[in-house]
Homo-oligomer: A and B are copies of this chain.
Amino acid sequence: MMGLPIHDPRQNQILAALPARDYARLVGELERVTLVPGTLLHAPGAPFEFAYFPTTAIVALILANDSGASAELAMTGKDGLVGIPLVLGGVSTRFAMTVQSGGEAWRLPAEVMCRERDRGGSLQRLSLCYAEALMTQMAHSIVCNRHHLVDRQLCRWLLSSLDLLPGNQVDVTQEVIAHMLGVRREAVTEAAGKLQAEGLIRYRRGHITVNDRAGLEARACECYRAVRAECDRLFEAQAASKCSSINCTLDTPRNSLMPRR
């Protein structure tokens, strides 16, 4: 984040990992957009118009069924892209995508994504890699939902968000978190209360500040570390297998996603 202009598409990990030639071909078609919290980026069943590459924003993938039951499946920030179904070949998806945390993103028209997909280049390879990262997130959510207490899940959620944000603050209401975790708002109030009592976080109406990140990690269920480790592994394996095309991203920090302060 340091040597880059304030708003550079390469703050996004996928775009940053593109070989220079591929990036050059695409950069002219990238459009910068500001994502407002709460915005519905993609309605269930609608066709995709754009693929989004967040830099400072976070987008939540949500599934809601007909009875109104819903849960967050995964979140995407600077580590990935929104619109995986475009890459997998499905025209649309029943998943909803909403802006969980406001910020900036770059977007590419769906036609361009399809073109790149059919071309079979780096963008496709990286996108498929991220698809696997998404599956990893979802898989751990299944286990986590089933076996772990709400306060631990809250830790995991906070840490995941934090990894995609610049500071140490997450700006969401407990109501929103409850919606994401698929639990009652009161359950979040209670869990957050515990964490605050333990000095790990501090919050005021719609803003949660993380005081003790290490403590939060210790308090979180192992799912957080597991997802993190697996996604790092996937991305590194991907980067390594790129060896055929010379690695030309010399000064893009590969570990820009590791705040680890």
Contact = CB atoms under 8 A, between A and B. Distances in A.
Given A110-B248, A131-B135, 6 more contacts: A36-B257, A69-B146, A71-B147, A88-B131, A110-B249, A142-B182
Majority secondary structure, A binding face:
mixed
A70 interface: yes
A42 interface: yes
Interface in A8-48: 33, 36, 38-42, 46-47
Contacts of A98: 260
A140 interface: yes
A4 interface: no
- Of the four ranges (under 10, 10 to 19, 20 to 34, 35 or more), the interface on chain A belongs to 35 or more
Contact of A40 (B93, B247, B259): B259
Contacts of A49: 252, 254, 256
Interface string A187-231: 000000000000000000000000000000000001100100010
B237 A70 contact: no
A90 to B, nearest CB: 5
A41 to B, nearest CB: 7
B226 A66 contact: yes
Interface string A112-155: 00110010100001001101101110111111011110000000
A78 to B, nearest CB: 20
B143 A226 contact: no
A149 to B, nearest CB: 12
21 contacts: A38-B260, A40-B258, A41-B256, A47-B252, A49-B254, A49-B256, A63-B140, A67-B147, A69-B148, A70-B143, A73-B142, A88-B131, A88-B135, A89-B132, A90-B234, A91-B237, A94-B136, A110-B249, A118-B246, A134-B135, A143-B182
A178 to B, nearest CB: 12
A114 B244 CA distance: 12
Contacts of A95: 139
B142 A71 contact: yes
Interface in A157-173: none
Contact of A246 (B114, B247, B259): B114
